[in-house]
Amino acid sequence: MKRLRYSAAPQEAQNINDEEQSLPIALLRFLRHWDILQIATFDDLAYEDTVVFLIQHLDPKSNLNDVERLLFQYFTEQTNSDTFSVEICLLIKLLAGDVFESFRDYLARNNPRAFTTPNSNAHARARGLLGRHYSPRSSTR
């Protein structure tokens, strides 16, 4: 399934093939695109350690604020400074939005049960039980 993705990035819309793109590749693409540390042009392996850090620390129950906190924590450790300019803070927040969307989509594709509520499971089970016990029966023997 192909979808057209619009991002806050200053580029045109890009096609992303969801089934073929893995989470680490998507994260690496976003990190290189936003290039917060401005090292992607000099190093082909830039941000691979960031991808590993994110995958190790992202929880399936993470929300956008958790992703922002993780990214701020990581970039604070990398720059040895806990203060960022307004532009860098905005870039980190936009990057966090892209990372969160990609992570949420990855979870939805690979673990669809993670997004079902207990009530919807109970409702589906009740429908199945009712359908099995109260379905029309044929009278032919």
Q: What is the mean pLDDT of each run of 10 residues along the chain (141 residues)?
A: 46 46 87 87 84 91 94 92 90 94 90 56 58 56 56
DSSP state of 111: -
Query: Hey, where are the domains in the chain?
Result: 2-133
Residue 140 token pair: 């032919």
pTM here is 0.63
pLDDT of 119 reads 52
Cα(25)–Cα(37) distance, integer angstroms: 19
Residue 101 token pair: 């969307």
pLDDT of 90 reads 94
Cα(36)–Cα(141) distance, integer angstroms: 74
End-to-end CA distance of the chain: 47
Exposed/middle/buried for 98, CB within 10 Å: 0-12, 13-18, 19+? Answer: buried
pLDDT of 141 reads 56
Amino acid (1-letter code) at residue 25: I
Residue 64 token pair: 């956008």
